[in-house]
Amino acid sequence: MIEFYTQYRYLIVPFLTWFGIQLFKFIWDLVTTKKFNFRRLLGAGGMPSSHSAVVVALATMIGRSQGVTTPIFALSVIFALVVMYDACGVRRETGKQAHILNEIIKSPGLKSVEVSEKLVELVGHTPFQVFAGAVIGLIIGLIF
């Protein structure tokens, strides 16, 4: 079992990090709303950013094992920065736009518009949610 972990730790630790954060978000949502929302297990958005935690944990693990001057560490850091920028930039703006469109669709003057489903609004993160995820990822990467 230890040999399996050693061989696949760069997959196992990030996956368990993601799963743990998503499970936390699911439980937090259940406690605060008193409703089961299984979308929180797989959905994006919310506090903390599991995307940020995963990529920072992976970059930290690579930096510790391969060294911070290696090309693979540079690649992992750039990858982490792109993911975090996307989480609080592009995806956050997409969520804002979805919210506005959902409000427009509710307008009384749009009776002829047929909408089969509401747009997902919780797809991005605030900068603080991304920062919190990055801190969690750093801690996990340093531990494992």
Give whole-number Cα distances, 70 to 11, 31, 57, 62, 77, in Å: 20, 44, 17, 9, 11
Global pTM value: 0.80
Structural domains counted in the chain = 1
Quick check: 138 pLDDT over 60? yes
At how many degrees (to 10) do helices 50-66 and 127-143 cross? 40
- Which position has the higher pLDDT, 92 or 80? 80
- Which position has the higher pLDDT, 67 or 92? 67
**What residues make up the domain containing 41?**
2-109+116-143
- Span 6-41, pLDDT tens digits: 899 999 999 999 999 999 999 988 998 888 887 777
- Span 112-121, pLDDT tens digits: 566 666 666 6
Q: Are 84 and 55 in contact (CB under 8 A)?
A: yes
